[in-house]
Amino acid sequence: MNAPTANEDLLYSITDGIARITFNRPQARNAMTFAMYDRMAEICLEINADRSIKALILTGAGDKAFASGTDISQFRAFKTAQDALDYEARIDRVLGTLEQCRVPVIAAIAGACTGGGAGIAACCDLRIGTETTRMGFPIARTLGNCLSMSNISRVVALVGPARTKDLIFKARLVEAQEALALGLLNEVVPDVETLQRRADETAKLVASHAPLTLEATKEAVRRIRRTLSREEGEDLILKAYMSEDFREGMDAFLNKRSPVWKGR
Ligand SMILES: C/C=C/C(=O)SCCNC(=O)CCNC(=O)[C@H](O)C(C)(C)COP(=O)(O)OP(=O)(O)OC[C@H]1O[C@@H](n2cnc3c(N)ncnc32)[C@H](O)[C@@H]1OP(=O)(O)O
């Protein structure tokens, strides 16, 4: 699979020890190309090796989205079961690297945060939203694919099994206040300007605290969530990705029509 280059699609800056990644494709609701995923993981590894960096903020350009998930047009290149497995392995590796980034990671979320975008947010340590934030996993409505075991287990860890099913089965996006009540968000601020300021303040606050306490807590919380091997979920992934329904979902989304599901 050819990866588009990240270029300006993912912006990276460091100010006073606080690193910031901005997903920068506002015209596509900051949908993630493979190159953007890969660059995000690469930055996490750079941060792990640079003790001068104390915290990382992830955010989306504009006020309409944090990230809408994987760029759906990239799924067109899927031809074989191996393509689906390679994709899942790649995203799992990226999200695992993000989740294990040495420093506290704060997601500053305005607008839509869906699919893989919500998966990214679930890997972060703290999530701050605005009144416009909408979060969820609409794939049962939009695409007919399925989340990886590790993605699902992170959502379960945040909101519990029953609410995870409610979100995915109903394919609904929850508004900011409900996301806060569910535990998908830690805090909601009024608007985007306040959001960026609040993310900076939060990053500075946590960066002023004992790094080893934060690192140990982060790792302990990660270990409490049962770590499943990717192989345990491969049969589920393949069943969805190799289905007629997935082709239908992708075609319907890209052609702006409603999909017709057949269950095969
Ligand atoms: C393991 C993880 C797997 C995945 O992540 S699979 C992908 C899962 N994500 C989704 O299913 C979300 C799909 N997108 C949406 O449901 C909606 O969008 C939003 C709720 C995120 C935003 O809605 P609104 O604000 O009304 O924007 P709009 O008019 O739907 O989209 C604006 C432009 O952005 C493109 N776009 C949005 N999301 C994606 C995407 N994920 N991949 C590729 N393009 C996307 C659209 O097509 C359109 O484009 P144009 O302006 O050319 O018509």
**Sorting pLDDT into bands at 50, 70 and 90, what band is 4?**
very low
Mutation test residue for ligand 1: of 27, 68, 73, the one with most atoms within 8 Å of CB: 68
Mean pLDDT score of the chain, rounded to an integer?
94
Q: How far is the first Cα of the chain from the last one, in angstroms, to the nearest whole number?
A: 25
Q: Is the dihedral of CA 178, 181, 182, 188 positive or negative?
A: positive
Contact 35, 61 (CB under 8 A): no
The least confident of 20-29, 48-57, 142-151, 189-198 is 142-151
Position 6 scores a pLDDT of 56
Q: Whose CA is nearest to atom 42 of ligand 1?
A: 71
Provide ipTM, 2 decimals.
0.98
Position 236 scores a pLDDT of 87
Task: Give 252-258's long-range contacts (Cβ < 8 A, gap of 24+).
Answer: 252/142, 253/72, 253/142, 253/143, 254/72, 254/73, 254/76
Q: At what angle do helices 81-99 and 149-159 cross, to 10 degrees?
A: 40
Q: Whose CA is nearest to atom 46 of ligand 1?
A: 28
Q: Is the pLDDT of residue 86 over 90?
A: yes
State the residue for tokens 């990644």: 21
Instruction: For each of the domains in the chain, give its residue range(s) and CATH number, in order of start.
Output: 10-208 (3.90.226.10)
Position 7 scores a pLDDT of 77
The span from the CA of 109 to the CA of 208, in Å, is 23
For ligand 1, residues with CB inside 6 Å are 28-29, 31, 64-65, 68-73, 91, 112, 114-116, 119, 138-139, 142-143, 147, 151
Ramachandran angles phi, psi of 102, nearest 5°? -60, -35
Which atom from ligand 1 is nearest to the alpha carbon of 88? 1
